[in-house]
């Protein structure tokens, strides 16, 4: 099914130049030099607030072509809306809210411009200390995606529950979580930790993949288009999930309600975006939250000393090849990514750490951290955050990961190595078919 979709999109997108010859946007009198750069952004209030201010500053600066932004049209999702726009010829010049896997899909369809032609590109990477992040996001050696944020997943613990259980500090290892869970089961008949984030394909980013990165020291789970599910880090992550479910220290579903405010669990993985949500909806719970690192095995803690790696939710901006304003769009991007003030504005308005490696050293963020200590903890872990694999098969890979591996930890008694090997074979076969 996915192959047929790809062939259909390739055929439609290949015909765009001919199709666009019949559209208004190719007319010579298309508002000429007054035509604005069109930008699509994520359909959420926080990012809309940021772009409203940022675009207004740019337009008032007189530094380049005017920018107009709108949110990505509400359809089945951002990815569907953008693919539909590309086929119909209504895509913008720039689009934000692009995750690495979707960027890879668009790049492999020949729809994205390499952003290394941005004015001062190398200086921007050096100043923002972005080169390690760009290596993680590279697609066939090209820089098609400019990351806006890197938001590492960390574990939120209910400090009041830990105190009741006599746990003096936040758990850092799987073994710590087991001990806490035993105490809670015995003393309060409660659950230890929310181990799985949900049943959607995206959920694997926030559980298995995060545990894998923590246990492996940030190693890729897909390497040279082969799944790495059979290695030690993967087996440790899967055994943690199985152990928690076998002992009934967690649950597969918590309905639609967050189990942390209700005290159903003592800990759960959460992102930086949850801080503002809790401030608005669960302020009393937030008072008790203590943030800890992503948990890992005690053996991996010894093998990889220092902060535990974790999954980092990351999205960025792409420039479409069909844009007739590429130099002007690149000038706008260079302005966005060259400004420390814009990075601070992003952090203030969205609550998510901007994608840069100097967050803890750059003094422009100091006052913000003093006023927002929880946000500061996320900034302190950006350097150990690793994004999802930059492969266009992300959705299919994650679905195999869910159905054939993670869910087997809940309901299947087969040995963990056997389950991991079967899922690895299925994933690697998928990736080879897609080449």
Helix axis angle for 78-88 and 2-14, nearest 10°, is 40
User: Domains in the chain, ordered, with CATH?
Assistant: 2-151+312-386 (3.40.190.10), 154-309+391-433 (3.40.190.10)
Picking from 17, 23, 79, 11, the residue whose alpha carbon sits closest to that of residue 322 is: 17
Are the CB atoms for 174 and 295 separated by under 8 Å?
yes
Are the CB atoms for 122 and 346 separated by under 8 Å?
no
- Per the document, the length of the chain is 435
Distance of alpha carbon 185 from its chain centroid, rounded? 33
Q: Is 367 exposed, middle or buried (0-12, 13-18, 19+ CB in 10 A)?
A: exposed
The whole-number pLDDT of residue 257 equals 80
Q: What is the pLDDT of residues 121-162, one digit of tens each?
A: 999 999 999 999 999 999 999 999 999 999 999 999 999 999
pLDDT average, residue stretch 160-189: 97
The whole-number pLDDT of residue 255 equals 65
- Over the range 142-160, which residues count as b (16 or more CB within 10 Å of their CB) and which as e? ebbbbbbbbbbbbbbbbbe
Query: 167 CB contacts (<8 Å, ≥6 apart)?
Result: 179, 180, 183
Does position 7 have pLDDT exceeding 70, yes or no?
no
CB atoms within 10 A of CB 275: 21
The whole-number pLDDT of residue 16 equals 45
Instruction: Supply φ then ψ for residue 148, to 5 degrees.
Output: -85, -40
Specify the higher pLDDT residue, 117 or 27.
Answer: 117
Query: 228 CB contacts (<8 Å, ≥6 apart)?
Result: 219, 220, 221, 222, 234, 424
154-158 vs 267-270, strand pairing mode:
antiparallel
Cα angle 275-399-96, degrees, rounded to a multiple of 5: 50
Picking from 313, 319, 266, 325, the residue whose alpha carbon sits closest to that of residue 121 is: 319
Q: What is the pLDDT of residues 334-375, one digit of tens each?
A: 999 999 999 999 999 999 999 999 999 999 999 999 999 999
The whole-number pLDDT of residue 20 equals 39
Q: What is the pLDDT of residues 54-83, one digit of tens each?
A: 999 999 999 999 999 999 997 778 899 999
The whole-number pLDDT of residue 75 equals 72
The whole-number pLDDT of residue 212 equals 98
The whole-number pLDDT of residue 8 equals 44
Q: Mean pLDDT of all residues in the chain?
A: 92
Q: Is 22 exposed, middle or buried (0-12, 13-18, 19+ CB in 10 A)?
A: exposed
Q: What is the pLDDT of residues 250-303, one digit of tens each?
A: 998 876 689 999 999 999 999 999 999 999 999 999 999 999 999 999 999 999
Rounded Cα gap, residues 381 and 260, in angstroms: 22
The whole-number pLDDT of residue 253 equals 81
Which secondary-structure segment (H or E) carries 104? helix 100-108
Picking from 97, 83, 111, 80, the residue whose alpha carbon sits closest to that of residue 39 is: 97
Q: Which residue has the tokens 């010579």?
A: 28
The whole-number pLDDT of residue 29 equals 33
Rounded Cα gap, residues 91 and 84, in angstroms: 8
The whole-number pLDDT of residue 34 equals 83
Instruction: Supply φ then ψ for residue 104, to 5 degrees.
Output: -65, -40
Question: 112 forms bridges with which residues in the sheet?
Answer: 320
* Predicted model pTM: 0.92
Are the CB atoms for 106 and 76 separated by under 8 Å?
no
């Amino acid at each position: 099914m996915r192959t047929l979709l790809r062939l259909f999109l390739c055929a439609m997108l290949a015909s765009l130049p001919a199709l666009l010859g019949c559209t208004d946007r190719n007319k010579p009198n298309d508002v000429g030099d007054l035509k604005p750069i069109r930008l699509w952004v994520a359909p959420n209030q926080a990012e809309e607030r940021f772009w409203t201010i940022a675009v207004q500053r740019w337009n008032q600066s007189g530094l380049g072509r005017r920018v107009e932004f709108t949110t990505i049209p509400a359809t089945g999702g951002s990815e569907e809306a953008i693919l539909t726009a590309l086929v119909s010829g209504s895509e913008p010049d720039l689009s934000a809210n692009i995750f690495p896997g979707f960027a890879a899909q668009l790049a492999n369809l020949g729809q994205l411009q390499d952003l290394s032609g941005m004015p001062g590109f190398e200086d921007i990477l050096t100043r923002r200390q972005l080169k390690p992040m760009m290596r993680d996001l590279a697609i066939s050696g090209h820089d098609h995606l400019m990351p806006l944020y890197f938001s590492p997943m960390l574990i939120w613990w209910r400090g009041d529950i830990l105190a009741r259980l006599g746990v003096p500090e936040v758990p850092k290892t799987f073994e710590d979580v087991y001990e806490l869970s035993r105490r809670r089961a015995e003393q309060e008949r409660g659950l230890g930790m929310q181990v799985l984030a949900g049943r959607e394909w995206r959920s694997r980013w926030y559980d298995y993949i995060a545990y894998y990165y923590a246990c492996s020291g940030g190693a890729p789970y897909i390497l040279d288009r082969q799944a790495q599910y059979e290695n030690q880090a993967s087996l440790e992550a899967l055994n943690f999930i199985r152990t928690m479910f076998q002992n009934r220290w967690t649950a597969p579903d918590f309905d639609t309600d967050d189990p942390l405010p209700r005290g159903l669990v003592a800990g759960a993985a959460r992102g930086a975006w949850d801080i503002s949500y809790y401030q608005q909806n669960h302020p009393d719970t937030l008072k008790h939250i203590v943030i800890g690192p992503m948990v890992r095995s005690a053996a991996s803690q010894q093998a990889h000393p220092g902060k535990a790696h974790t999954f980092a939710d990351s999205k960025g901006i792409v420039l479409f090849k069909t844009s007739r304003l590429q130099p002007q769009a690149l000038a706008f991007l260079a302005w966005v990514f060259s400004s420390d003030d814009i990075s601070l504005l992003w952090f203030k308005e969205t609550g998510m750490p901007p994608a840069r490696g100097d967050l803890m050293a750059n003094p422009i963020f100091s006052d913000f951290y003093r006023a927002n200590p929880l946000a500061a903890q996320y900034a302190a872990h950006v350097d150990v955050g690793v994004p999802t694999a930059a492969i266009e098969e992300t959705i299919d890979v994650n679905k195999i990961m869910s159905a054939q591996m993670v869910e087997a930890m809940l309901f299947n008694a087969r040995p963990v190595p056997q389950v991991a090997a079967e899922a690895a074979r299925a994933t690697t076969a998928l990736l080879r078919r897609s080449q």
